Structure 1
Amino acid sequence: MASLSCDILVIGAGSGGLSVASGASQMGADVILLEAGEMGGDCLNAGCVPSKSLIAAAAAAQAQRTSAPFGVTASEPVVDYAAVQAHVADVIATIAPVDSQERFEGLGVRVIRDWGRFVSKSQVEVGGDTITARRIVVATGSTPVVPPIEGLKDVPYLTSDTLWGLRTLPDHLLILGGGPIGMEMAQAHARLGAKVTVVDAGPALNREDPEAAALVLQAVKADGVTIRDNTGVKKITGTEGRIEMEIGDNGETLTGSHILVATGRRAAVERLNLDAAGIETENDAIKVDDRLRTTNRRVYAIGDVAGQGAFTHLAGYHAGVVIRSIVFGLPAKVRTDHIPRATYTDPELAQIGLTEAEARDRYGDKVDIARFDLSHNDRAIAQRRTTGFIKAMVHKGRPVGATIVCAEAGEHANFWALALANKLKMSQISATVSPYPTAGEIGKRVAGAYFSPRLFESRTVKTVVGLVQRWLP
């Protein structure tokens, strides 16, 4: 049994943990990184990367079906699902070296591939060894939630962690959960040729702006997905290839070949022995303050395990905050008002800051809504991708939120995330000059929609312009 010591111990080699480990080590700190699973964590191996790779394959299939309006003969695609999954695996393998143990050891990080558990406020036991660290960062991510539905644990269910081992396209995929993961995988599998039914006890995409969510759900249904939201599940039974789901109150039964459980994720804290370190939890995640410190001031928590959202980009942002605190000793604090989220259906749906309902609840009649529809964007018309809109919630001349639903909404979100992060004014956004014709022009057009009533419907402006025109030589 060895005793090790370091400046910073990072537990978990997902997005956030890797960012802390690489940044701190390259700036001179002595860093140890623990990871029992795959380097790269959930995002690389089971989340963002594989899901978006599958969605890209589904989009390629859909492009064949919908090419007629461009003068290209449409055809029904022939889908080899095993080859699709091989494409997914290839994308993961291409990115994996960036997150590899070898790369991080080359950066000066000591990497230990094993589980760690707290044995005191500053010590973690791993594989019989004890590590004493001046500061510890917990970045263990999250795991899929499996709801306590009768019979579910007795059937061969899939989750977003295990879906990628499937090599045969499901005949009928039942999806439990109508959130972002459920909707993304529902539309993708329908486009790849599967029959898909989504069941959710509440409204589908219930966190999102209702008008934007309605456009997404309409498109998903148009691709052949059946959505049974506001429908409870009583019992699930069956074996591989035949799963039966009893829903509602009248004994109705859905029968599918596979079931995907997509009912959310829970912070991965079970193995950490947090009590030994004096670390408290709250709402099934580690309790942190606005500096991401736990109730043990030596220990920080970042990413999914901190309970502020299960987003890779949020974990990366958290890592930057923590590095400023533990490497440079600066009093860095977390902001949440500028963090984007996106659902990668077609159309995509992105949200930055407050939704319209949240903005009206906070600011009442002192909030303005500026909106521009894709149907008025020339590039969108040329590409026949005119479904959707962008609307900005504006308070005292500054955007406090933006809702985006359209093709590549996640890309448009960058513009508005920049605006909110830097507290830009609508006048500054209006001053932007975008190349024509681009979808990116829409940001400027939203700002134009904000100023148009103030310029074109103002009697004062018209009076001033009349006087100026009269006196100009």
Structure 2
Amino acid sequence: MSTYDVDVAILGAGTAGMAAYRAAAQHTDRIALLDGGPLGTTCARVGCMPSKLLIAAAGTAQAARGTDRFGIYVDAPRIDGAAVMQRLRDERDRFVGFVMDAVESFPDRHVIREKAVFVDDHTLKLTSGRTLTARAVVIATGARPNIVAPLQGLGDRLYTSEGLFDWHDLPASAAVFGAGLVGLELGQALHRLGVRMRLFGRDHAVGPISDPEVRRHAAKLFEAEFPVHWHADSEVTRGEAGVTVRWSDADDDDAPQHEEEFDCVVAATGRTPNVDRLGLEATSLPLDDRGAPIFDALSMRVAQTHVFMAGDASADLPLLHEAADEGRIAGENAALLPDAYRKARRTPLSIVFSDPQIAMVGASHAELTEAGTDFVTGAVDFADQGRARVMGQNAGLLRLYAQRDTGCLLGAEMACPAAEHIGHLLAWSISDGATVDQMLERPFYHPTLEEGLRTALRNTSHALGMAPTPPLRSIDCGPGA
């Protein structure tokens, strides 16, 4: 051990890297946390928090437009794009400041503000040219926006899903490419903030939804609000005043071509793990066909080596809470080598903060189907759900999946009101191994949106053959409904 400069070198000081650092520091003081910047984590600087700030502004504008149904009449909202973006940047910078304070609280001897590449399995070359040797290494270098070929060459008319958070005003128009989690959130937010927006997707993806019924239901709800093309063939060209997008329906060879001018393009076309610039070819690590290390998701260890993966660099579960978990596992295992352990992961939970919100909990419909699992489904349509109608949010679909022979809840997919809260309830229940009938024994207050979940549970119980009543609609009038 004394032949190395440090016991653990951690590449990247984002969410995963800081979690790895804190875990490793419980076991050794010989640590190097390397990051050439910018610091601040993806979440605080260019991800979760600034996007939610934009969505919060958009939601406020949308609420002002929807007061007529309640008999309340107000003038159309006047949106000051510069003020919207000023608040976003100010609050974003506050969140980044909290992260910077955390990094600055680490001992100076542990933090190296440089980037590093591998020279060999245990040796890292830093930006300054000096080298550092480590007994174990945690790769937590995050990811960056992926720009697909049709969008390259647009110059200053192209903004990534990160770059738009530095806008000082809202554009008059924008074409958003990518109908995944980020594209849905940003595209809908821009539309609600008065930007003339059109969303272009591929392969009929609607966020992360894999359940065909939920996907169809959600697609119709989004289509009713803003222009979107779930599977488009498109061509983008840059002009003097903006960009021109030409597109047609990719499912129809004879589909007519359309054309529209926009001020700019926002690319939300996925992310690329930052492992291609680490010199991994100089190591003996096993790599997949993309050049990324092959690792075990329960130990974060790359084969039986001394290298561990964590966070978005692993391209496994690009979510903040998963990155923190992976960082803790990787950091502790790196410090404990050769006594690394495997740890069961939390019940999967992911949320899209669109309207309606989308949540994926536990095993997805696609995963269960591909695994050949014998499961039943139960659903609720929120069109008639009591509290949802009271609030004017009565749209959405929730589908539950339960093991046929045990009645245990396996997963759920939904696009519905309060999906972020219902998703948590379901994730906790799945983590506890709850059956559908056990969940039905738990209290449901009236009138709440959670009563919609109770309807879905009752319909699942019926599908399991455990309830004599036929499937229920989402009209919930109390405990006896």
* TM norm structure 2: 0.85
User: Residue 232 of structure 2 aligns to a residue in which SS?
Assistant: coil
* Per-residue deviation, 1:50: 0.8
Query: 1:270: which partner in 2?
Result: 276
User: Residue 157 of structure 2 aligns to a residue in which SS?
Assistant: coil
Deviations 1:423-442 (A, max 9, x none): 33223322322444333344
Q: Note closer, same or farther for the CA distance 1:235–1:390 as it changes in structure 2 (3 Å cut).
A: closer
* TM norm structure 1: 0.87
Query: 2:473: which partner in 1?
Result: none
User: Residue 409 of structure 2 aligns to a residue in which SS?
Assistant: strand
Query: 2:69: which partner in 1?
Result: 69
List alignment gaps of at least 5 residues for structure 1: 459-473
Q: Which structure is richer in relative contact order (CA contacts within 8 A, separation 6 or more)?
A: 2
* Per-residue deviation, 1:347: 0.1
Q: How does 1:315-464 map to 2 (within 5 A)?
A: 315-327=323-335, 329-333=339-343, 335=345, 338-363=347-372, 366-375=374-383, 377-395=385-403, 396-452=406-462, 454-457=465-468
Query: 1:310: which partner in 2?
Result: 318
Query: 2:37: which partner in 1?
Result: 37
Does the CA-based 8 Å contact 1:374-1:388 persist in structure 2?
A: yes
* Per-residue deviation, 1:87: 1.6
Query: 2:244: which partner in 1?
Result: 244
Deviations 1:269-316 (A, max 9, x none): 232111223234325333212322124711101122112132222212
Does the CA-based 8 Å contact 1:25-1:107 persist in structure 2?
A: no
In the alignment, the residues of structure 2 paired with residue 423 and residue 455 of structure 1 have an alpha-carbon distance, to the nearest angstrom, of 18
Query: 1:91: which partner in 2?
Result: 91
* Per-residue deviation, 1:195: 0.7
In the alignment, the residues of structure 2 paired with residue 72 and residue 5 of structure 1 have an alpha-carbon distance, to the nearest angstrom, of 68
Does the CA-based 8 Å contact 2:64-2:76 persist in structure 1?
A: yes
In the alignment, the residues of structure 2 paired with residue 343 and residue 375 of structure 1 have an alpha-carbon distance, to the nearest angstrom, of 20
* Per-residue deviation, 1:112: 1.8
In the alignment, the residues of structure 2 paired with residue 158 and residue 122 of structure 1 have an alpha-carbon distance, to the nearest angstrom, of 38
* Per-residue deviation, 1:61: 0.6
Query: 1:466: which partner in 2?
Result: none
Does the CA-based 8 Å contact 1:324-1:331 persist in structure 2?
A: no
Query: 1:122: which partner in 2?
Result: 122
In the alignment, the residues of structure 2 paired with residue 373 and residue 16 of structure 1 have an alpha-carbon distance, to the nearest angstrom, of 38
Tell me the amino acid that sits aligned with residue 46 of structure 1. V
Deviations 1:175-231 (A, max 9, x none): 1222221121111001000111112343142741233233433333333x2112322
User: Residue 120 of structure 2 aligns to a residue in which SS?
Assistant: coil
List alignment gaps of at least 5 residues for structure 2: 470-481
Tell me the amino acid that sits aligned with residue 172 of structure 2. D
Q: How many residues align?
A: 451
In the alignment, the residues of structure 2 paired with residue 436 and residue 9 of structure 1 have an alpha-carbon distance, to the nearest angstrom, of 53
In the alignment, the residues of structure 1 paired with residue 106 and residue 439 of structure 2 have an alpha-carbon distance, to the nearest angstrom, of 40
Does the CA-based 8 Å contact 2:138-2:334 persist in structure 1?
A: no
User: Residue 269 of structure 1 aligns to a residue in which SS?
Assistant: coil
Does the CA-based 8 Å contact 2:359-2:415 persist in structure 1?
A: yes
Tell me the amino acid that sits aligned with residue 223 of structure 2. K
In the alignment, the residues of structure 1 paired with residue 231 and residue 399 of structure 2 have an alpha-carbon distance, to the nearest angstrom, of 28
Q: Note closer, same or farther for the CA distance 1:434–1:30 as it changes in structure 2 (3 Å cut).
A: farther
In the alignment, the residues of structure 2 paired with residue 41 and residue 448 of structure 1 have an alpha-carbon distance, to the nearest angstrom, of 42
* Per-residue deviation, 1:399: 1.5
Tell me the amino acid that sits aligned with residue 353 of structure 1. G
In the alignment, the residues of structure 2 paired with residue 38 and residue 91 of structure 1 have an alpha-carbon distance, to the nearest angstrom, of 17
C-alpha RMSD over aligned residues: 2.7
Q: Note closer, same or farther for the CA distance 1:81–1:277 as it changes in structure 2 (3 Å cut).
A: same
Does the CA-based 8 Å contact 1:38-1:45 persist in structure 2?
A: no
Query: 2:195: which partner in 1?
Result: 194
Tell me the amino acid that sits aligned with residue 443 of structure 2. V
Does the CA-based 8 Å contact 1:119-1:277 persist in structure 2?
A: yes
Tell me the amino acid that sits aligned with residue 183 of structure 1. L
Q: Note closer, same or farther for the CA distance 1:435–1:91 as it changes in structure 2 (3 Å cut).
A: farther
Tell me the amino acid that sits aligned with residue 362 of structure 1. A
Tell me the amino acid that sits aligned with residue 468 of structure 2. E
Does the CA-based 8 Å contact 1:278-1:295 persist in structure 2?
A: no
Q: Note closer, same or farther for the CA distance 1:129–1:4 as it changes in structure 2 (3 Å cut).
A: farther
Query: 2:285: which partner in 1?
Result: 279
Tell me the amino acid that sits aligned with residue 307 of structure 1. A
Tell me the amino acid that sits aligned with residue 24 of structure 2. A
Q: Note closer, same or farther for the CA distance 1:424–1:31 as it changes in structure 2 (3 Å cut).
A: farther
In the alignment, the residues of structure 2 paired with residue 391 and residue 278 of structure 1 have an alpha-carbon distance, to the nearest angstrom, of 45
Deviations 1:219-265 (A, max 9, x none): 33333x211232212342224x4111233476643211111111111
Query: 1:103: which partner in 2?
Result: 102
Which of 205, 213, 216 is the equivalent residue of 2:215? 213
Does the CA-based 8 Å contact 1:14-1:40 persist in structure 2?
A: yes
User: Residue 85 of structure 1 aligns to a residue in which SS?
Assistant: helix
Q: Which moved more, 1:153-162 or 1:6-15?
A: 153-162
Question: 1:49 and 2:49 equivalent?
Answer: yes
* Per-residue deviation, 1:344: 1.5
Deviations 1:353-399 (A, max 9, x none): 333354344346x3111223334544323322221232210012111
Does the CA-based 8 Å contact 2:214-2:399 persist in structure 1?
A: no
In the alignment, the residues of structure 1 paired with residue 29 and residue 395 of structure 2 have an alpha-carbon distance, to the nearest angstrom, of 50
User: Residue 149 of structure 2 aligns to a residue in which SS?
Assistant: coil
In the alignment, the residues of structure 1 paired with residue 264 and residue 143 of structure 2 have an alpha-carbon distance, to the nearest angstrom, of 23
* Per-residue deviation, 1:137: 0.8
Q: Note closer, same or farther for the CA distance 1:436–1:235 as it changes in structure 2 (3 Å cut).
A: closer
Query: 1:232: which partner in 2?
Result: 233
